[in-house]
Amino acid sequence: MNKTEKIYEIAIIGAGPGGLTAALYAARAEADTVIIEKGAPGGKVVKTSIIENYPGVEAVDGFDLASKMFNQVMTLNVPFVGGGVEKVSKNNDIFTVQLDNGTEIKSKLVIVATGTLERKIGVDGEDRLYGKGVSYCAVCDGALYKDQEIMVVGGGLSALEEALYLTKFAKKVYLVHRRQGFRADDKTINKVKANSKIELILDAVVDKINGKDLVEEVIVKNIKNHKTTNFAVKAIFPYIGAIPITDFVEHFNVLDKEGYIEVDLKKQTKVDGLLAIGDVTNTQLRQITTAVGDGAVAAQRAINILDSID
């Protein structure tokens, strides 16, 4: 097992916008900080096509924004450790972050910024055809379906934005949602309704995904009359919510009934020294801007705690 006796002042778990902002503020305050991330730096931002609601920037590619955030932090020589976190424990005011590769990282404070995982539809064919037409990333895979008919599932802002993005490639996009209304801003909703490539399939749910080696059709069921319709599509992109990545702190009893980490206005949990930010918390809004704000607040609070310890 690869262990280190070094004790960092702040360990940040997650390198999305919130985690990177926390690292930026912490490093600029000369706190001994480490970032832990099992995937690509930037989190879900990397998978977002165009961002149009980041202040001061009319439109930016998600990957480009994430890269700029990450590179800015790296100029401050913040260590970046790759690996998934299995458990965070605390003993004598020191936290130990255990990674799935055997590494253990010790720190005085921990900021959790792990975000969420995409929720699955849970129907036959979804897992079997994952990567073969079932995709949770339109930016990653949308271009594979140029001039094809595809399907998006969901009624939130992400589903609508990705449906619009996919019209750049697809001949037709079916948007399936279990209700009539959408959980998004009026401007985005109107864009979707006005796009001739998008056909709304409302009051409906996906019943099954068929295909031998690739997605060949999706069976959709109307929840009012229970009638099913087969759609000959080449891909399906579910955007039906997310699950917070919090299993490694569950034993601290800091989660709400939905699994999100409960924090106060200073982003503190009820465990001294354990803070959390962004999508993984019980926040009212999950956006890049709110995650960035959370990161600044948490880092500043962490600095204040360290000053009081010293």
Q: What is the pLDDT of residue 1?
A: 45
What tens digit of pLDDT does each residue of 213-233 get?
999 999 999 999 999 999 999
The SS3 assignment for 79 reads coil
The catalytically annotated residue of 127, 140, 185, 307 is: 140
Which of 3.40.50.2000, 3.40.50.1820, 3.50.50.60, 3.10.20.10 would CATH assign to domain 3-118+242-309? 3.50.50.60
The catalytically annotated residue of 141, 207, 279, 294 is: 141
What tens digit of pLDDT does each residue of 157-207 get?
989 999 999 999 999 999 999 999 999 999 999 999 999 999 999 999 999
CB 99 within 8 A of CB 1: no
The catalytically annotated residue of 61, 64, 137, 247 is: 137
Q: What is the pLDDT of residue 216?
A: 97
Mean pLDDT value across residues 9-36 = 98
Residue 137 known to be catalytic: yes
Torsion of CA 268, 269, 272, 276, to 10 degrees: -60
What tens digit of pLDDT does each residue of 265-289 get?
999 999 999 999 999 999 988 889 9
Q: Which residues of 232-258 are buried (b: 16+ CB within 10 A; e: fewer)?
A: ebbbbbbbbebebbbebbeebebbeee
Q: Residue 28 above 80 pLDDT?
A: yes
Q: Which two tokens stand for residue 90?
A: 């605390």
303's CB contacts (< 8 A; 6+ apart) are 25, 26, 29, 31
pTM, entire model: 0.80
For residue 126, give Cα distances in angstroms to 132, 147, 176, 178, 194.
Answer: 10, 23, 16, 18, 30
239's CB contacts (< 8 A; 6+ apart) are 118, 136, 152, 153, 154, 156, 158, 159, 162
CATH architecture of the domain covering 138-238: 3-Layer(bba) Sandwich (3.50)
- The residues of the chain that CATH labels 3.50.50.60 are 3-118+242-309, 138-238
203's CB contacts (< 8 A; 6+ apart) are 178, 179, 180, 222, 223, 224
What tens digit of pLDDT does each residue of 106-140 get?
999 999 999 999 899 999 999 999 989 999 888 77
Torsion of CA 72, 77, 82, 83, to 10 degrees: -100
Residue 140 known to be catalytic: yes
